[in-house]
Amino acid sequence: MISRVLVPVDDSEMAEHALEHALEVYPNAEVTVLHVVGEPSPMWGEAAGLALADDLEAAAEACAEPVLERAAVIAADHGREITTTVQLGHPARAIVNQAEDYDVVVLGSHGGSLVDRVIVGNVAETVFRRSPVPVTVVR
């Protein structure tokens, strides 16, 4: 029985479809929505990284807030509540690392723009290949 579902989201329509799918297919499961915010590039230099380190968590929360608020609205529209979480890091790695605590991962196949399709599509493929639990990719 599926009792814990992880739904990684970005601000794409496909992520919304994935969340809706998870809410409909797993009506009795606890659904956790994960938004991953990329960390600053090492190319910024050590000084920039140190200056940003104090504010990274706050910046990640602020960046994720509208995405997670939209997810909460979608859940409410389905008569459900969700748990939300934010992580810093590479999206595919963060999702795979988080997945071990869940029964299934449900994610969108790609984002909206061509760039999003390439980047998010690669994330979905990487998660699909490396996840320690089953993955449902929603189109």
Quick one: fold of 4-138? Answer: Rossmann fold (3.40.50)
Give residue limits of the domains in the chain. Answer: 4-138
pTM: 0.86
- Digit-coded pLDDT (tens) for 14-28: 999 999 999 999 999
- Digit-coded pLDDT (tens) for 58-80: 888 899 999 999 999 999 999 99
DSSP states of 93-108 as a string? HHHHHHHTTSSEEEEE
Distance of alpha carbon 32 from the chain centroid: 9
